[in-house]
Amino acid sequence: MQNEPAVRLSAVRRLYEVSARMGAGRSLAETLQAVVDGVVNGLGFGIAVLNLRHPDGKFEVIAVAGSPEARAALLGKVSAADLFDAEFAIADAWGKLRFVPHERLPEGEVTGWVPDVPVSDAPDAWHPLDALFAPLYSSDGDLVGMLSVDLPEDQRRPGPIHRELLEIFATQAGLAIDKARLTDRLLAEKTRLEASEATFRLVFEGAGNGMATVAFDGPELGRILRVNDAFCRITGYAPDQLLGTRLVSFLRDEEPDQTRVELEEVAASNGTYRFERVFTQPTGNAIWLAGTAALVTQGAGLPRILLVQIDDVTARKDAERELRHHAAHDPLTGLPNRRLLQHRFTKVLEQTRATGRPGALLFCDLNHFKLVNDGYGHEAGDRALREIATRLSTAVRHGDTVARLGGDEFAVLAEDITGDDLTTLITRLETAVSRPLPNIAVQVTTSVGTVPITPITTDLDALLHEADQAMYTAKNRRP
């Protein structure tokens, strides 16, 4: 079975992919279809149905993916505003998601389309009558639609990772729908009024996302010409602080010449260039902006301008960073897990081969820890593990890695260490662990096994096994 960190890392990748596809839709229809296609193709569900909420409160099925039969049965169906009230009354709240298990449905009351699939008697199996809903909200918190999913790819009720993934995606989908609706309205208005300057001004100033125009030619190249209120609200600057300044002075290049390369891509593209950049607010705080830049030709003899639209996506970036952190760290202690230990072992081995100076892998097993769990309960045991993890991290040298392997087993990866330095490190680890634990009378100690990391070392698993055996030898020598 795939381990949790690997699943989380895979989830991050899938979230990137489906969010990019969803964000590529220009019209409302394209965006809605991209939402359901993203759920089916990237989030691990066999069927996705999107009900769009109309201004009168009624819901209409606008997009269906994953099943031609479901599409034929549901597409275009209009339902009352209270369509979901009865189901939500008996639903479980999974964060912002709502799950309705089939066993709670009133007998004989089955609405909508039901997939014809076998029914499993496994306790966590997905039942054809199970229902999982993700409400979709605009940036103002208004309900814009309801996403329902069915037939998880593993045929089981989604676990925490896939719920979190669907919830993050639903948040982005709601914002994308809101923006697509605005885009459709803007395009319709622009066409109706023949793209007049008055219409552009109305659209520009009234847009919910930040908009700016930037000079693209001549001596004013890169200078901000116009901003709307939303642009100022998002960036934290007043109009007079922005107008006439160069936009790039507020952006942080993640790579050398990033801005120059992006401007060349804008000039070479025929459509809209999409970007994500770090922007520095007047307080010095850094936020993530996602947006588009479209090159606009104003007319013969007039300089071209960039029409830039932005949104603050810092919350999404933070969520993605948290997922990546969980993929590489132990959820109880926050220490690096085996995956991150493997990455750092590779770095230590490269350094050892470059310098010829050996490192060491230390395997630490706690003695008498079972007595803590048995006598004080697992909650106290978890607190004790977190305390011991902190002590181990404090006892090692700067640059050493302390990782939790599982249970009461830890590993320490140390670069360029031998002889007395290694002996001192072992003593520091043993002393740190053996100090009394808060509110626990059990004397917990540690046995440490060590093996060197030399230029001929190749495999972390073999090294851990050897260190484990050395640890048992050390444990057997204890009085």
Confidence at residue 1, expressed as pLDDT on a 0 to 100 scale:
42
- Domain(s) labelled CATH 3.30.450.40 in the chain stretch across 4-183
Distance CA 366, CA 466 (A): 17
User: What share of the chain has pLDDT > 70, as a percent?
Assistant: 87
Look at residues 352, 361, 479, 474 and name the one whose alpha carbon lies nearest to residue 422: 361
- Quote the radius of gyration of the chain (alpha carbons, Å): 29
pLDDT tens digits along 236-284: 999 899 988 888 888 877 766 777 777 777 777 766 778 888 888 888 8
CATH topology classification for 4-183 = Beta-Lactamase (3.30.450)
pLDDT tens digits along 391-427: 999 999 999 999 999 889 999 999 999 899 999 999 9
Residue 92, strand partner residues: 99
Distance CA 309, CA 274 (A): 10
Confidence at residue 393, expressed as pLDDT on a 0 to 100 scale:
93
Look at residues 37, 81, 370, 77 and name the one whose alpha carbon lies nearest to residue 173: 37
- Going from the C-alpha of 334 to that of each of 9, 341, 391, 399, 404, the distances in angstroms are 17, 13, 13, 17, 9
Q: Supply the DSSP string of 393-434, one letter for each residue.
A: HHHSPTT-EEEEEETTEEEEEESS--HHHHHHHHHHHHHHHH
* The one catalytic residue among 121, 257, 408, 416: 408
pLDDT tens digits along 125-163: 999 888 899 999 988 889 988 999 999 888 889 888 888
Work out whether the CA dihedral 182, 186, 192, 197 comes out positive or negative: positive
Ranges 193-197, 262-266, 284-288, 324-328: which has the least confidence: 193-197
Encoding tokens for residue 309? Answer: 């639209």
Distance CA 100, CA 91 (A): 4
Confidence at residue 202, expressed as pLDDT on a 0 to 100 scale:
60
Is 408 marked active-site? Answer: yes
Say how far residue 224 (Cα) sits from the centre of its chain.
32
* Segment 10-26 mean pLDDT: 55
- Domain(s) labelled CATH 3.30.450.20 in the chain stretch across 194-318
* Contact between residue 151 and residue 126 where contact means Cβ atoms under 8 Å apart: yes
* Segment 33-53 mean pLDDT: 86
Question: pTM for this structure?
Answer: 0.42
Beta strand ranges found along 91-209 (DSSP E): 92-94, 97-100, 131-137, 143-152
- Which backbone phi and psi does 159 adopt, to 5 degrees? -85, -175
Q: Are strands 131-137 and 143-152 parallel, antiparallel or unpaired?
A: antiparallel
Encoding tokens for residue 440? Answer: 């626990």
Contacts 24+ apart (CB under 8 A), 69-72: 69/113, 70/113, 70/115
Cα first-last separation, the chain: 40
Encoding tokens for residue 131? Answer: 């229902």
H helices within 246-377, ranges in order? 258-268, 314-328, 338-355, 369-376
Work out whether the CA dihedral 212, 217, 219, 222 comes out positive or negative: positive
CATH topology classification for 329-477 = Alpha-Beta Plaits (3.30.70)
- Domain(s) labelled CATH 3.30.70.270 in the chain stretch across 329-477
Give me the torsion for CA of 141, 143, 148, 152, rounded to 10°. Answer: 0
Confidence at residue 163, expressed as pLDDT on a 0 to 100 scale:
86
**CATH code linked to domain 194-318:** 3.30.450.20
Q: Does the pLDDT value for residue 103 go beyond 60? A: yes
Give the SS3 label for residue 142.
Answer: coil
Q: Are strands 59-65 and 78-79 parallel, antiparallel or unpaired?
A: antiparallel
Encoding tokens for residue 81? Answer: 């505003």
Q: pLDDT-derived band of residue 299, with 50, 70 and 90 as boundaries?
A: low
Distance CA 39, CA 23 (A): 13
pLDDT tens digits along 428-458: 999 999 999 999 999 999 999 999 999 998 8
